[in-house]
Amino acid sequence: MSLGRRAARGVVWIGASSWVNRLMLLIVLAVLAARLGPREFGIISILGLARNTFTVLGGFGFADALVYQRERVRSAASTAFTITTALGCLLGLALLPAAPAMAGFFHVPEAAGAIGAYSLVIAANTAGQIPIAVLTRDLEFRRRFVPEAVGSVAGGLVTIAGAFAGWGVWAVVAGDAVREIVVLAVVIAILPERFGFGWDRAAAAGMWRYARHALTSELSEFALQNVDYALVGRLLGPVALGLYTLAFRVAILPFLIVTHVVGGVSFPVLARTSGLDRVRAAFRPTFELGMAATVLLAGGLVFLAPSLQVLGEQWGPAVPVARLLGIYVCLRSAAHLLIPLLAATGHPGADAALGVGWFALLAVAVAGATRLGITAVAAAQIGVAAVMVAAYVAVARRLVGISPAAIAAVLARLAAAMALAGACVLGLRALGGVWVADETWPTLLLNGTAFTVAYGAAVCLLVPEVAGGVRRLRAYLVPGRGDGSPVAEHPP
């Protein structure tokens, strides 16, 4: 099977996994929003911050290094599995004494026990990173779908049951623990070729040369995702953090179900594609399709944000924040889609440096904006993201030869399509009645359908390359269609 067809099918399987996960997340968010208040949502955000801090450290960048590995793959996998499992256990133990201090920092001492309970979650998550990376490297996306989907559903159902049973934030802790344990058990069970603990000093040293840059990138990405939470929670308190958290979790969904999926598939595929011209040729339609889908969802949020009130009128203050974050997600996605290109062409250090720069700018901007409220924080996100998109494009031009004019043209035309679709929605809302009943699901459905139809028509007129990309993707997915011509690749 050609790399193009394997990539297309990989997008479907990774997309299906992400969509199952995000569908469960949406259901869980709806249940929690109905059962809990903004303060409890703020505590949930703090729990996620604690969990993510330690899981990023536990991976130590070795998962990406294994995907990039060109030789002695199984020996490298055993070595990386030993490293990440040991680190995960140590970090899980380290969280226990750190939990009271973290809870006190965010003025929620009652959360210390729940934070400490994430020790098990951290250990299971880090142990499962390398088996998942093996499936990713081998382009076994269909197999990878199984543990991720089963784990998401199992964890989501436990959280929902716990919420209805009155467990409060502990429902989230229980659901996260079940998800990570199920993922670890299932992925080990379905590996085509199992491996255990092992040690190869040469493999460890070789992977570390790549992993240290990947770790820096992961830490920078983690910091970008959480510095706003940390500052809002510390300076404005758990209620403001709860409102901001709901807005951000809704806004970031397009990034997670589209951008993250496309990037997750394009990295291993581009890493196995030989020749810079072929890499650039494969990148452009990936960028166009990924951004078109992201702008549909994130741009739609800009005009559909008032419907957040279907979760309850207490979430009304989150509406302007969600609108601004929809724009931010579009910009962040544009930069993120360039990361696999840099990593696959042997430039992880450039991505790491850009990530550190993004975090530094964002930390300063958010620290200054927080005193003005959560809407100002969202606006600061947009400003920093716009600067960093330009920086990523400039670096990609210098290192890989990507055309900034072509990138700018795609983004400008998609922005115009979003504006036209938004104008359609605003025109319908001017009619009043059902079009502005933002506390009801029919209004969300009607406005969402109108935006989708108008955006699709505008994209077909303004960005016809996207329609061609969709046809090529369909040809790869339907048996007997497409030319099936292979893309030259590195030996596995």
Model pLDDT for residues 155-173, shown as the tens digit of each residue? 999 999 999 998 888 999 9
> Which of 386, 390, 238, 254 is closest to 322 using CA atoms?
254
> What DSSP line would sit under 248-268, residue for residue?
HHHHTHHIIIIIHHHHHHHHH
* Residue range 325-384, pLDDT digits in tens: 999 999 999 999 998 888 888 887 888 889 889 988 998 999 999 889 999 999 999 999
Q: Of the residues 159, 174, 199, which one is the last residue of a structural domain?
A: 199
- For residues 434 and 289, state if they share a domain: yes
Position 472 scores a pLDDT of 63
Mean pLDDT of the chain: 85
Is the pLDDT confidence value at 131 over 80?
A: yes
Q: Taking residues 318-331, what's their average pLDDT?
A: 94
Return the pLDDT at 471: 67
In angstroms, rounded to a whole number, what is the distance separating the alpha carbons of residues 60 and 208?
Answer: 9
Inter-residue long-range contacts of 7-12, CB under 8 Å, 24+ positions, other chains counted: 7/139, 7/265, 7/266, 7/269, 7/282, 7/476, 8/473, 8/476, 8/477, 9/141, 9/142, 9/476, 9/477, 10/139, 10/141, 10/265, 10/269, 11/261, 11/262, 11/265, 11/473, 12/141, 12/477
Same domain, 21 and 87: yes
Same domain, 354 and 378: yes
Residue 478 in tokens? 């339907």
Domain boundary pick from 199, 226, 245: 199
Count of domains in the chain?
Answer: 2
272: containing domain: 211-480
The pLDDT tens digits for 10-49 are 667 777 877 788 788 888 888 887 788 778 878 888 888 7
From 170, 199, 228, give the residue that closes a domain.
199
Choose among 227, 251, 237: nearest CA to 373. 237
Asked whether residue 486 is domain-assigned, the answer is no
Percentage of the chain with pLDDT > 70?
A: 93
Q: Rounded to an integer, what distance in angstroms lies between the CA atom of residue 344 and that of residue 348? A: 8
Is residue 376, in this structure, part of any structural domain at all?
yes
Q: Are residues 276 and 192 in the same domain?
A: no
Q: Is the pLDDT of residue 128 over 70?
A: yes
pLDDT digits (tens, 9 = 90+) for 216-265: 777 777 777 778 888 888 888 888 888 898 898 889 888 888 888 888 77
- Give the other-Cβ count within 10 Å of 433's Cβ: 9
The pLDDT tens digits of the residues spanning 68-84 come to: 887 778 888 899 899 88
| Position 475 confidence tier, pLDDT thresholds 50, 70, 90 | low
Q: Is residue 408 part of a domain?
A: yes
Give 333-346 pLDDT, tens digit per residue.
999 999 888 888 88
Domain-located, residue 204: no
Q: Which of 250, 255, 240 is nearest to 369 (CA)?
A: 240
Q: Do 175 and 226 belong together in one domain?
A: no
For 396-406, the pLDDT digits (tens) are 999 999 899 99
pTM of the model: 0.69
Give 239 or 274, the one with higher predicted confidence. Answer: 239
442 occurs within a structural domain: yes
Give yes or no: residues 406 and 297 share one domain. Answer: yes
pLDDT > 90: percent of the chain: 33
| Same domain assignment for residues 184 and 236 | no
- Distances, alpha carbon 17 to alpha carbons 11, 45, 49, 145, in Å: 10, 23, 23, 5
pLDDT at 479 over 60: no
For the segment 451-472, what is each residue's pLDDT rounded down to a tens digit? 999 999 999 899 888 777 666 6
In degrees and rounded to multiples of 5, residue 489 shows phi and psi of -140, 160
